[in-house]
A and B are shown apart, each in its own frame.
Chain A
Amino acid sequence: VNDAAHDVPVVAAQPPPPPKTRGKLFRKYVAFFVAVIALALLLNGASEIWFSYQEHKASLIRIQHEQAEAAAAKIGQFIKEIESQIGWTTQLPWAAGALEQRRFDALRLLRQVPAITELAQLDASGREQLRVSRLAMDVVGSGTDYSKEAKFTEAVAHKIYYGPVYFRRESEPYMTLAMAGTRRDAGVSVAEVNLKFIWDVVSQIKVGEHGQAYVIDAESRLIAYPDISQVLRNTDMSRFAQVQAARAGASGLSPDDVQVAQDLRGRPVLTAYAPVPALNWLVFVELPRAEAYAPLYGSIRRSGTLLLAALAFAILAGLVLARKMVGPIQALRAGAARLGGGDLSQRIAIKTGDELEGLADQFNEMAGRLQESYADLENKVEVRTRELSEALEQQTATSEVLRVISSSPGELEPIFQSMLENATRLCEGKFGMLWIAEGDGFRPVALHNVPPELIEERRSNQVHYFRPQTPFGRLAETKHLVHVADARTEPEYIRGFRELVALVDIGGARTLLMVPMLKESELVGSITVYRAEVRPFTDKQIALVQNFAAQAVIAIENTRLLNELRESLEQQTATSDVLTVINSSPGDLVPVFHALLEKAMRLCRAVFGGLWTYDGNEFHAAALKGVPAAFAHFHGRPINPLPGTIAFAIVGGADILHIPDLREDDGYRSGVPAKRALVDEGGARSVLVVALRNEKRLLGFFLIYRQDTSPFIGNQIALVQSFAAQAVIAIENARLLNELRARTDELARSVGELRALGEVSEAVNSTLDVEQVLRTIVTKAVELSATDAGAIYVFDEEREEFRLRATYGMSEAMIAAISSRHIGAGDANIGEAARRREPMQIADVREAPGSALDDIILGAGYRALLIVPLLRPDRTVGVLVVRRKHPGAFPQSTVDLLQTFADQSVLAIQNARLFREIEEKGRQLAVASKHKSQFLANMSHELRTPLNAILGYSELILDNIYGEPSERMRGVLERVQSNGRHLLGLINAVLDLSKIEAGQLALTINDYSLKEVVQTVFVAVESLATAKRLALKVDVPAALPTGRGDEQRIAQVLLNLVGNAIKFTEAGEVTIAAAVENGAFTVAVRDTGPGIAVADQARIFEEFQQADNSSTRSKGGTGLGLAISKRIVEMHGGRIWVESEQGRGSTFAFTLPVEVELQMEQA
Chain B
Amino acid sequence: MSKRILVVEDHEDNRQILRDLLGNAGYQMIEAVTGEAGLIAAAAERPDLILMDIQLPGLDGYEATRRLKADPALRAIPIIVVTSYALSGDDAKAKAAGCDAYVTKPFSPRNLLAKIKEFLP
Q: Which residues of A line the B interface, CB within 8 A?
A: 937, 940-941, 944-953, 955-956, 959, 961-962, 980, 984, 988, 991, 995, 1001-1002, 1004, 1048
Of B42-50, B64-72, B83-91, the one contacting chain A is B83-91
18 A/B residue pairs, CB under 8 Å, sorted by A = A937-B87, A941-B85, A944-B84, A944-B105, A945-B14, A948-B14, A948-B107, A949-B11, A950-B106, A952-B17, A952-B21, A952-B106, A952-B109, A953-B17, A956-B17, A961-B24, A1002-B88, A1048-B88
Q: Check: B108 CB closer than 8 A to any chain A CB.
A: yes
Alpha-carbon distance between A956 and B11 when the two chains are bound, in angstroms: 17
Chain A residues near B20 (CB, 8 Å)? 956, 961-962
Q: Are A952 and B107 in contact (CB under 8 A)?
A: yes
Alpha-carbon distance between A941 and B108 when the two chains are bound, in angstroms: 16
Distance (whole angstroms) from the CB of B8 to the closest CB of chain A: 15
Chain A residues near B28 (CB, 8 Å)? none
Most buried by B among A945, A962, A1002, A1048: A945
Most buried by B among A944, A950, A959, A984: A944
Q: Are B110 and A959 in contact (CB under 8 A)?
A: yes
Q: Are A941 and B84 in contact (CB under 8 A)?
A: yes
Alpha-carbon distance between A303 and B88 when the two chains are bound, in angstroms: 112
Chain B residues near A940 (CB, 8 Å)? 84-87
Chain A residues near B17 (CB, 8 Å)? 948-949, 952-953, 956
**Chain A minimum-CB-distance residue to B82:** A948
**A-B CB proximity, top 10 nearest:** A948-B106, A949-B13, A952-B17, A944-B84, A947-B106, A941-B84, A951-B106, A948-B105, A961-B24, A955-B109
Q: Are B11 and A945 in contact (CB under 8 A)?
A: yes
Q: Are A984 and B24 in contact (CB under 8 A)?
A: no
Q: Are B14 and A952 in contact (CB under 8 A)?
A: yes
**Chain A minimum-CB-distance residue to B55:** A941
Interface 1/0 per residue, B30-55 and A, CB below 8 Å:
00000000000000000000000001
Q: Which residues of B line the A interface, CB within 8 A?
A: 11, 13-14, 17, 20-21, 24, 55, 84-89, 105-110
Q: Are B108 and A955 in contact (CB under 8 A)?
A: yes
**Chain A minimum-CB-distance residue to B85:** A940
Chain A residues near B89 (CB, 8 Å)? 1002
Distance (whole angstroms) from the CB of A335 to the closest CB of chain B: 118
Distance (whole angstroms) from the CB of B43 to the closest CB of chain A: 28
Alpha-carbon distance between A1048 and B88 when the two chains are bound, in angstroms: 10
Chain A residues near B84 (CB, 8 Å)? 940-941, 944-945, 948
Contacts A948-B17, A991-B87 given; 12 further ones with Cβ under 8 A?
A: A944-B106, A948-B14, A948-B84, A948-B106, A948-B107, A949-B11, A952-B106, A955-B110, A956-B17, A961-B20, A1001-B88, A1048-B88
**Chain B minimum-CB-distance residue to A995:** B87
Distance (whole angstroms) from the CB of A1048 to the closest CB of chain B: 8
Alpha-carbon distance between A953 and B17 when the two chains are bound, in angstroms: 6
Chain A residues near B14 (CB, 8 Å)? 945, 948-949, 952
Name the one of B21, B85, B86, B108 contacting A951, with C-beta atoms under 8 angstroms.
Answer: B108
Chain B residues near A995 (CB, 8 Å)? 87
Chain A residues near B13 (CB, 8 Å)? 945-946, 948-949, 952-953
Alpha-carbon distance between A951 and B84 when the two chains are bound, in angstroms: 14
Alpha-carbon distance between A940 and B105 when the two chains are bound, in angstroms: 10
Most buried by A among B13, B85, B106: B106
Alpha-carbon distance between A884 and B86 when the two chains are bound, in angstroms: 74
Distance (whole angstroms) from the CB of B90 to the closest CB of chain A: 11
Name the one of A937, A948, A980 contacting B85, with C-beta atoms under 8 angstroms.
Answer: A937
Alpha-carbon distance between A947 and B85 when the two chains are bound, in angstroms: 13
Chain A residues near B88 (CB, 8 Å)? 1001-1002, 1004, 1048
Q: Are A988 and B109 in contact (CB under 8 A)?
A: no
**Chain B minimum-CB-distance residue to A1002:** B88
**Chain B minimum-CB-distance residue to A991:** B86
Alpha-carbon distance between A991 and B85 when the two chains are bound, in angstroms: 10
Chain B residues near A947 (CB, 8 Å)? 106
Q: Are B105 and A945 in contact (CB under 8 A)?
A: yes
**Chain B minimum-CB-distance residue to A1048:** B88
Alpha-carbon distance between A995 and B109 when the two chains are bound, in angstroms: 29
Chain A residues near B21 (CB, 8 Å)? 952, 956, 961
**Chain A minimum-CB-distance residue to B21:** A956
**Chain B minimum-CB-distance residue to A984:** B106
**Chain B minimum-CB-distance residue to A951:** B106
Chain B residues near A962 (CB, 8 Å)? 20
Alpha-carbon distance between A988 and B84 when the two chains are bound, in angstroms: 11
Alpha-carbon distance between A956 and B111 when the two chains are bound, in angstroms: 12
Distance (whole angstroms) from the CB of B40 to the closest CB of chain A: 24
Distance (whole angstroms) from the CB of A59 to the closest CB of chain B: 100
Alpha-carbon distance between A393 and B95 when the two chains are bound, in angstroms: 119
Chain B residues near A949 (CB, 8 Å)? 11, 13-14, 17
Distance (whole angstroms) from the CB of B5 to the closest CB of chain A: 16
**Chain B minimum-CB-distance residue to A942:** B84
Distance (whole angstroms) from the CB of A791 to the closest CB of chain B: 58
Alpha-carbon distance between A952 and B109 when the two chains are bound, in angstroms: 6
**Chain B minimum-CB-distance residue to A980:** B106
Alpha-carbon distance between A950 and B106 when the two chains are bound, in angstroms: 9
Q: Are B87 and A988 in contact (CB under 8 A)?
A: no
Alpha-carbon distance between A1123 and B24 when the two chains are bound, in angstroms: 43
Chain B residues near A1004 (CB, 8 Å)? 88
Chain A residues near B105 (CB, 8 Å)? 944-945, 948
Chain A residues near B109 (CB, 8 Å)? 952, 955-956, 959
Alpha-carbon distance between A941 and B106 when the two chains are bound, in angstroms: 10
**Chain A minimum-CB-distance residue to B12:** A949
Alpha-carbon distance between A62 and B90 when the two chains are bound, in angstroms: 106
Chain B residues near A988 (CB, 8 Å)? 86
Alpha-carbon distance between A980 and B14 when the two chains are bound, in angstroms: 16
Alpha-carbon distance between A945 and B13 when the two chains are bound, in angstroms: 9
Alpha-carbon distance between A1127 and B37 when the two chains are bound, in angstroms: 43
Distance (whole angstroms) from the CB of B61 to the closest CB of chain A: 12
Alpha-carbon distance between A1048 and B107 when the two chains are bound, in angstroms: 20
Chain B residues near A991 (CB, 8 Å)? 86-87
Alpha-carbon distance between A945 and B56 when the two chains are bound, in angstroms: 12
Alpha-carbon distance between A951 and B14 when the two chains are bound, in angstroms: 11
Alpha-carbon distance between A956 and B112 when the two chains are bound, in angstroms: 12
Alpha-carbon distance between A988 and B88 when the two chains are bound, in angstroms: 12
Chain B residues near A953 (CB, 8 Å)? 13, 17
**Chain A minimum-CB-distance residue to B112:** A952
Alpha-carbon distance between A988 and B108 when the two chains are bound, in angstroms: 16
Chain A residues near B85 (CB, 8 Å)? 937, 940-941
Chain B residues near A959 (CB, 8 Å)? 109-110
Distance (whole angstroms) from the CB of A1056 to the closest CB of chain B: 16
Distance (whole angstroms) from the CB of B118 to the closest CB of chain A: 19
Chain B residues near A1001 (CB, 8 Å)? 88
Alpha-carbon distance between A1001 and B11 when the two chains are bound, in angstroms: 29
Alpha-carbon distance between A496 and B34 when the two chains are bound, in angstroms: 164
**Chain A minimum-CB-distance residue to B111:** A955
Distance (whole angstroms) from the CB of B89 to the closest CB of chain A: 8
Alpha-carbon distance between A531 and B108 when the two chains are bound, in angstroms: 152
Distance (whole angstroms) from the CB of A989 to the closest CB of chain B: 11
Chain A residues near B110 (CB, 8 Å)? 955, 959
Alpha-carbon distance between A950 and B11 when the two chains are bound, in angstroms: 13
Distance (whole angstroms) from the CB of B37 to the closest CB of chain A: 19
Most buried by B among A940, A944, A946, A952: A952
